[in-house]
Amino acid sequence: MNKLKYILVMMITMVIVTSCNENSNYIEATYFTMDSNGELIRPVDYRTWIYVGTPLTPNDMNNGKAAFPEFHNVYIDPISYKQYKKTGTWREGTILIKELVNVGSKAAVSGNGYFMGEFIGLEATIKSKEHFPDEPGNWAYFSFTNPTGGTLAATGKAFETAQCNSCHNSSAGDDFVFTQHYPVLRAAKGVGEEVTPENTAKR
C-alpha cells in the first residue's frame, strides 16, 4: 500500500513539475508562427504585449495624401522587450506589431486634437536570421490589412525588401526600428532588469 502511495505521489509530482517547467520554457519562446508556405500567421494576443509608441501622420497634415494616415499603435513581444532592457539589442525572433487605428474625432471636452477611432489594419515586422537570412538586418515586414476594410487576413506574405526595409534601413534609429518615435524603447535600452530608484522613472 505504501508503495502504491509512493508511485502515485511520484506521478503527481512529475505532472506538476512538468507543468511548471513548461511555463519556464515558454520564457524563451518566440511570439510568432510561420505556416508551411513561409507566411506569417496573424498574431492575436499582441494587445497584451508591450506598447512602445504611436506615430501619427494624418491626411489633413499631408495634403490629403498621407502615406500612413492612421494612428500606428506599436507593440513589441514581452520577451524581446526584456532582452532589449538587458542587452540593448533586438534578439533573434523579435516581433513588433503595428496596429492601425483611424482618426475618430478631432474635438472633445479636453480640446481640439486627434482621437482614436476604429481598428482598420494590422502589420508586423520580425527579425530572424533563421527565417530571413537574405533581408537587410534579417528584418521582414508583413501586412494583414484588408484594403477594402473588414476581416483581417489569416496569414501575411513578407513584403519585397524595397517596400519597407529600405526606408527602415536608412532612417530608423536603432537597427531598423524607429526608436526615435518610441520613448518606451529609448528608456528601456540597456537599462537592466531590476527596478531601482534610478531607473524607475525611465521604465
Residue ranges that bind a second copy, judged by CB under 8 A: 2-3, 5-6, 9-10, 12-13, 16-17, 19-20, 42, 44-45, 47-48, 50-51, 53-58, 61-62, 66-68, 71, 73, 75, 78, 81, 101, 104-105, 108-119, 151-152, 167, 171, 178, 180-184, 187, 195, 200-203
Quick check: 77 and 94 in contact, CB under 8 A? yes
Q: How far is the CB of 74 from a second copy (least distance, A)?
A: 10
3-state secondary structure of 103: strand
In this complex, which beta carbon is closest to a second copy, that of residue 58 or of residue 136? 58
Grid cell, residue 39, equals 507566411
Q: How far is the CB of 54 from a second copy (least distance, A)?
A: 5
In this complex, which beta carbon is closest to a second copy, that of residue 68 or of residue 92? 68
Residue in the block written with cell 502504491: 4
Q: How far is the CB of 158 from a second copy (least distance, A)?
A: 20
In this complex, which beta carbon is closest to a second copy, that of residue 75 or of residue 128? 75
| Contact residues for 172 (Cβ-Cβ < 8 A; gap 6+) | 178, 179, 180
3-state secondary structure of 145: coil
Q: How far is the CB of 44 from a second copy (least distance, A)?
A: 5
Quick check: 173 and 143 in contact, CB under 8 A? no
**Nearest alpha carbon to residue 131 among 93, 84, 81:** 93
In this complex, which beta carbon is closest to a second copy, that of residue 129 or of residue 171? 171
Q: Which H/E stretch holds residue 149? A: none
Q: How far is CA 68 from CA 55, 60, 100, in A?
A: 9, 12, 9
In this complex, which beta carbon is closest to a second copy, that of residue 91 or of residue 131? 91
Q: How far is the CB of 27 from a second copy (least distance, A)?
A: 14
